[in-house]
Structure 1
Amino acid sequence: MNIKKIIYLILAIAGLIFPWYYNLQFFANGSLGEFVAASSGNLATQSISLDLFIATVVGSIWMYFESKRLSIKFGFIYILIGFLIAYSFALPLFLYVREGKLEDELNTTYP
């Protein structure tokens, strides 16, 4: 496993654990509606929320076409993960899988 794959895997784990640590705390006392309202509660949170949403959409488009280009099976799963779990989990997880696919192709091309 190369260093990039290790970094992507560590970041994927962190992208799952850290956001959901706080999400679970919030949802212990609040609802999804309150979560959405809190994410647009002031100009700073609106800015961050829209920034993340746009990055998620752009990254999802890239993941879709990149998964098609590299024949990564179930590429749509990473897009769903990005919207339903956390984009900070989905992107590094996709990059981890992509890196493995690129390694496989390199090893096949140059044995």
Structure 2
Amino acid sequence: MALAVLGICYTWYYNIQYFQHAVDPSFANFFADAKVNFAGKSLSADLLVVVITFFAFYIPDAIKLKIKYWWVLIPLTFIIAVAFTFPLYLYLRANAIEKQGRIG
């Protein structure tokens, strides 16, 4: 859970800085600014692969483990950050496995 908190604080610190200092602070410009050079494009491509891999793993896993409200993590990944939702999912997953171990 601590990593989820770190993920939201660390990423949104910079998001807030962007929106406070950008000439035209909008989400459209945020994504456009992220693609202004090859370094930004590389990080965006890297993050896209991480998000796709996360969804490919976690959706069937969450259904199998019967994790409640697992679907909420999909929009939160795009609204907040995958740096928040991935560790949060691992926390929810560990709790589900522990709960099933005690019951079964």
Identity %: 32
Structure 1 length normalisation: TM-score?
A: 0.85
Instruction: State the match for 1:77 in structure 2.
Output: 72
Structure 1 portions without partners, runs of 5+: 1-8
Say if 2:9 is the partner of 1:14. no
User: What is the CA RMSD across the aligned residues, in angstroms?
Assistant: 1.0
Aligned to 2:26, which of 31, 48, 55?
Answer: 31
Structure 2 portions without partners, runs of 5+: none
Instruction: State the match for 2:96 in structure 1.
Output: 101
Moved runs in structure 1, 4+ residues, more than 3 A? none
**What per-residue deviation string (whole Å, max 9, x for no partner) do you get for residues 30-72 of structure 1?**
2212211111111111011111011102201211111100001
CA distance in 2, matches of 1:46, 1:62: 24
Instruction: State the match for 1:66 in structure 2.
Output: 61
Aligned to 2:87, which of 81, 92, 95?
Answer: 92
